[in-house]
Amino acid sequence: MLLPMAIGIGGIPSYVIGANMSVSGGSYSELLDRAQFRVCATSLSEECVRLLGRLSGVANQLTHEQQTRLHYLQAWRAALDGNYHRSDMLIDGILNNSRDPNLRFKTMMLSVNSLSDQSKFEEAFTQLRQLVALLENGTDIARDVREQGYGVASRLYADAGQFDLATYYAEQIFRLNLAKTGYVCVDDHARIAALYGDNKWENIDALIAQGVDVCTKERNSMFANGIRYVAANLDLQRGHPERAIALLSRHHDEVQRDGYPLQLAQFESLLAQSYQQTGDLDAARHWALAAVGHGSSNQYAKSASDAFRILYLLAKQKGDSVSALNFHEKYMASDKGYLDEISAKALAFQTVQQQVMAKKLQLDALNKQNQILQLQQSLDKSDSEMSRLYIILLLTVLAFIAFWTYRIKRSQLRFMKLARRDGLTGIFNRQHFVSSAEMQLQYCKKSARQACLVLIDLDHFKVVNDTHGHAVGDRVLKRAVAACQEHLRSTDIFGRLGGEEFGIVLPECTLEQALSRAEQIRVAIATAASGEDAPGIPISASFGVATIARSGYELRKLLIDADDGLYRAKREGRNRISVCDDTQPRERVGGAATERA
């Protein structure tokens, strides 16, 4: 999730309350209004928790409608706390019993968010389609409630990589408020999430400044800090970690008070990454451990993956191999889970779309079949030849529908195949590379075959992006991948592990053969990157090689040993190949192998 999506509480019109019984501090109706529209409007603060506790203590004295409003607040709190069993139970009760259209709509929004947080993405998108239908056709839903509905749709579509849809629903919020104020916090939050996720950063800085200002004026601290999280991410990616640290530290206490663990874990994980870039390793470790603790409810979030990776690198740098291996295992599991979740969201969106299309085609087919039956019954009363022509025509229509059903199924299978590929280079993504590599290594182990792992990292690639822009950087990556593929066999497994780092599993390949092929690839990359697509941009790559003879058949151990070789190649001047075998380290520089102590 690029930005934490706060589950809004405010915006429901005043309820018609029958009894106006009182409790210490005001009437029940007044306390519910205070909780719903002020204290619990955007965050789960301590005051909000205390007020909900007071209302829960007198729940049996509330009217039916008052109890329903309280159940909504309790479901919202349970969802934020990760108690989805209780929140789902309360949500079902509200949808079955409430007669208020606005409260029912807000409860459906809460259900969509809850299903998404539980990784029930197909159910979430099915529920979202019902929400969107109500937004387009419903006339009895309040304007501020509609704003929140568009925000939920924009956020979930952005999570599924459908950024055009995400931008469309963010713009609906703006149009809804154009006659009133022109800008609202929910609109800015949704548009920033869509632009950031789609890597459209040209005018995002001005929108970030506007969004923080608007959300601050609306006292919506959770959305304001979600926008600040994007700003800090941009600072870090642009090479300004100290600015990211200043921004995140200034608002960390405020995020902690809001009581949303996922947003807190995101802030702390980004702090850890920023401190690591500045060289303050103690602070980086402190914030990484904090992020892991606050992200325990969702160990497959990106914040957890980044935090475990930093802890692994710090332990490795200190020479603590036991902790490094432990954190590396957690990092790989978390990263794989995060990538699985992204793919699952995209696949769930496509699945729901296909189901809707299939139902429509089924209804069309049934209508045509009914027409065929009616025509057959009227054969005795009309010209039989003409009737047969109608039947042939309708059968042709049915065949056409069947053909399109087949095409839809093929497109669904094609989408599942694309989910395994890196969007830029077309080679395996990290998730599919890891699973394929583990299967290949198990096969080699059973048949006692040799295998090697090669890690490749382009040298000074950040300078290319900063100097020439991301478009040129993308072309350089594609040319480097094409150069690698010219020297790969059909049985080799080639994938992009992230950024400018790639991995190759070479089955049935000895160490000497792996070194020879790595040298061919090294020369090919240096030659290919100077072509007409990237004039005058010298590019080289560093290589780390690991073999099963030393590391065994476990992928995580091969990755660690190859990573050691890669780090050694970087330290020794880059544009070289480094490998650690059973006897002593050996490295290749520009095609020559040299022994090194």
Q: Contacts from 487-492 at CB under 8 Å and sequence distance 24+?
A: 487/517, 487/520, 487/521, 487/524
Q: Check pLDDT > 60 for residue 179.
A: no
Spans of all domains in the chain: 340-418, 430-595
Give me the residues paired with residue 22 across strands.
27
Q: How large a percentage of the chain has pLDDT more than 70?
A: 80
Q: Check pLDDT > 50 for residue 257.
A: yes
Find the mean pLDDT for residues 37-64. Answer: 78
- b or e along 211-229 (b: 16 or more beta carbons within 10 Å of the residue's beta carbon)? bbebbeebebbbbbbbbbb
pLDDT tens across 304-317, in order?
A: 889 899 999 999 88
pLDDT value at residue 139? 60
The residue ranking higher by pLDDT, 296 or 184, is: 184
Q: Check pLDDT > 60 for residue 263.
A: yes
Contacts of 217 (CB under 8 A, 6+ apart): none
pLDDT tens across 546-578, in order?
A: 999 999 999 999 999 999 999 999 999 999 999
How crowded is the C-beta side of 481, counted as CA atoms within 13 Å? Answer: 24
Q: Check pLDDT > 70 for residue 182.
A: no
Per the prediction, the chain carries an average pLDDT of 80
Where is average pLDDT lowest: 15-24, 259-268, 449-458, 477-486? 15-24
The single-letter code of the amino acid at 345 is K
Q: Check pLDDT > 80 for residue 190.
A: no
> Comparing C-alpha atoms, which of 243, 135, 117, 263 is closest to residue 189?
263
- Number of other residues whose CB lies within 10 A of the CB of residue 535: 9
Q: Would you state the structure tokens that stand for residue 563, as one six-digit string?
A: 């990573």
> Comparing C-alpha atoms, which of 441, 463, 557 is closest to residue 508?
441
Distance CA 262, CA 273 (A): 17
pLDDT band for position 459 (50/70/90)? Answer: very high
pTM listed for this prediction: 0.56
3-class SS of residue 100: coil
The residue ranking higher by pLDDT, 188 or 534, is: 188
pLDDT band for position 13 (50/70/90)? Answer: very low
pLDDT tens across 318-354, in order?
A: 888 888 889 888 888 877 776 666 666 667 677 766 6
Identify the CATH assignment for 430-595 out of 1.10.260.40, 3.30.565.10, 3.30.70.270, 3.40.50.620: 3.30.70.270
Give me the residues paired with residue 595 across strands.
586
Find the mean pLDDT for residues 246-254. Answer: 93
End-to-end CA distance of the chain: 46
pLDDT band for position 534 (50/70/90)? Answer: low
Find the mean pLDDT for residues 378-402. Answer: 75
